[in-house]
Amino acid sequence: MSVGKIAVVGGGTMGATFVRALTSAGLAQTADFQVCEALPARAQTLRDELGLAVTDSLPEVVDKAELIYLSVKPQDLGSLADGLLDESQLVVSILAGIRLRQVQEQLSHSRVVRAMPNTPAQVGRGYTVWTADAGVSDEQRERARRALSAMGQELYVSDEAAIDRATAVSGSGPAYVFMMLEALTDAAVQIGVSRAEARRMVLETVIGAAEYAAASEAHPAELRDQVTSPAGTTAAGVRVLENRGLRAALIEAVAAAHARAQELGSP
Ligand SMILES: NC(=O)c1ccc[n+]([C@@H]2O[C@H](COP(=O)([O-])OP(=O)(O)OC[C@H]3O[C@@H](n4cnc5c(N)ncnc54)[C@H](OP(=O)(O)O)[C@@H]3O)[C@@H](O)[C@H]2O)c1
């Protein structure tokens, strides 16, 4: 089942990811999209690489669209004109920290879904948490769910506060993992592994460990214990990570990201 005519407002990383995901999943075709992009160079890239219709005119783009995907930076919300939409149109906003109410007020439109996707959506392995205003119809919710599922797994939540929590964990989480990948790769190189081999070794280890943990019923601490023999090599490494506060650093990072998401949504 197709998602219908779609307007993408903000053709950056996340906007382009949405287009790619929907077309790869067969839920939409290139001709179903109209993209509003302010940056001329980016607009041209979207035309050249994805064959998309791109303009900087918001009224033109939203006209006749059933779903409007809002993917500008949070600070650019105020640059969007209001009064352009009617009740049949659904807005899906992915703006980090921006509340449903703020989008509704800016656009003078009640039918709004707020979603928090993440960048693994670029390879269909995203995790999107979303919620909807009470005024969004069942049919529109289904349309939103179908569209978001093209990027990977999706989870509907009724409490909007859960979106700020997801922002701190699944939204920002890939960045934490990328830092870990970078550090582990550098560490491998420092003990003599070639850069190419280190990259592959670290990626496969992280992907493998995550898939193993996902498939196992066991608690992560139990999985760690399985590979930590008394006075062994892993025990020596784990002791350093405990002493250097890896666990505390991650806990504080998530708390800081959560506080920042809440701050962004408090005008
Ligand atoms: N990256 C993530 O992991 C992630 C995850 C979840 C949600 N988000 C949210 O996704 C949104 C987009 O992030 P991104 O990483 O894709 O940003 P991005 O690459 O900077 O894309 C935003 C694009 O929107 C354009 N734009 C700004 N105002 C516009 C307007 N009035 N009309 C048309 N286009 C306009 C920007 O142009 P200019 O460059 O000229 O301003 C830019 O090309 C953000 O709100 C972010 O909070 C991001």
Specify the pLDDT at position 2. Answer: 75
| CA atoms of 48 and 253, how far apart (whole Å) | 39
Ligand 1 atom 42: residue of nearest CA: 12
Which atom in ligand 1 lies closest to the alpha carbon of residue 79? 31
Q: Would the CB of 121 count as within 6 Å of ligand 1? A: no
Distance from C-alpha of 89 to C-alpha of 115, rounded to nearest angstrom: 16
Share of the chain above pLDDT 90, in %: 95
Q: Determine the residue of 33, 71, 148 to mutate for testing ligand 1's pocket, defined as the one with the most ligand atoms within 8 A of the Cβ atom.
A: 71
Asked if residue 164 has its Cβ within 6 Å of ligand 1, the reply is no
57-90 exposure pattern, b = at least 16 Cβ within 10 A, e = fewer: ebeebbeebbbbbbbbebeebeebeeebbeeebb
- Indicate whether residue 71 lines ligand 1 (CB < 6 A): yes
Residue 157: per-residue pLDDT:
98
Average pLDDT over residues 180-193: 98
Q: Ligand 1 centre and the CA of 131: distance in Å?
A: 20
Instruction: Indicate which atom in ligand 1 lies nearest the CA of residue 16.
Output: 16
Q: How far apart are CA 257 and CA 69, in angstroms?
A: 24
9 lines ligand 1 (CB under 6 A): yes
- Give yes or no for residue 1 having a pLDDT over 70: no
Helices in the chain by DSSP H: which ranges?
A: 13-24, 40-50, 58-62, 100-107, 138-149, 161-166, 173-190, 195-215, 220-226, 233-243, 246-264
Lowest mean pLDDT: which of 1-10, 159-168, 179-188? 1-10
Ligand 1 in reach of 201 Cβ (< 6 A): no
State the chain's mean pLDDT as an integer: 96
Q: Which of 68, 72, 80 to mutate to test the pocket of ligand 1 (most atoms within 8 A of CB)?
A: 72
C-alpha 71 to ligand 1 mean position (Å): 5
Asked whether the beta carbons of 178 and 119 are under 8 A apart, the reply is no
Residue 179 buriedness (CB in 10 A; 0-12 / 13-18 / 19+): exposed
Q: pLDDT digit string (tens) for 84-118?
A: 999 999 999 999 999 999 999 999 999 999 999 99
**Pocket lining: 100 vs ligand 1, CB cutoff 6 Å:** no
Letter for the amino acid at 17? T
Q: What is the mean pLDDT of residues 156-177?
A: 97
Condensed to tens digits (0 to 9), the pLDDT of residues 17-61 reads: 999 999 999 999 999 999 999 999 999 999 999 999 999 999 999
Whether 169 lines ligand 1, by a CB cut-off of 6 Å, is no
216's tokens: 């196992």
pLDDT bin (cut points 50, 70, 90) of residue 187 is very high
**Binding site membership of 42 for ligand 1 (Cβ less than 6 Å):** yes
CA of 11 to the centre of ligand 1 (A): 7
Domains of the chain: 6-158 (3.40.50.720), 173-264 (1.10.3730.10)
Instruction: State the Cα–Cα distance between residues 156 and 138, nearest whole angstrom.
Output: 13
